[in-house]
Amino acid sequence: MRSVLTRIFQGLAWLVLAGLVVEFYLAGAALFGVTTFQPHRMLGIALALAILLLLVVALVARAGRRVVGLAALLAALTVVQVLLPSLRTRLPWVAALHAVNAVALSLQAAAIVRAPGRAAPASRAPEASAAVGLSS
């Protein structure tokens, strides 16, 4: 069951990362008049839900402190991302951080995508060392 949840987590993490790339495109397309910002908003809402689901899956799968922490930080950045546009009339210079936060979201999602692959070999390393009598 745990391996199934881990695969779901990894697939969802890749989906979120791909969705964030599409978000950049949609924002640019709206900025240059190809479309409105509505597709960007709608995908943003879907990604926010997917990111919250990613955190839930990380917790249920017992993905480890590092991965859960990365997912929690991604969720926190997402909350900030959703709130920033609402500040555009009162504090436009703060609302402009929406673009900077989007970069942070993308980097965080990329870290999550890489995390499960990196964590697995590290967790086996002490066992392998102990098997050959190299434990400290």
The secondary structure of 23-80 as a DSSP string is HHHHHHHHHTTSS-SHHHHHHHHHHHHHHHHHHHHHHHTT--HHHHHHHHHHHHHHHH
Block mean pLDDT (10 aa), the chain, length 136: 87 96 97 96 97 96 92 97 96 97 97 70 46 48
Amino acid 133: pLDDT: 52
Confirm if 57 and 8 have CB atoms less than 8 A apart: yes
pTM of the model: 0.81
Can you tell me the distance from the alpha carbon of 54 to that of 24, in angstroms, rounded to the nearest whole number?
Answer: 20
Amino acid 116: pLDDT: 60
Can you tell me the distance from the alpha carbon of 34 to that of 106, in angstroms, rounded to the nearest whole number?
Answer: 23
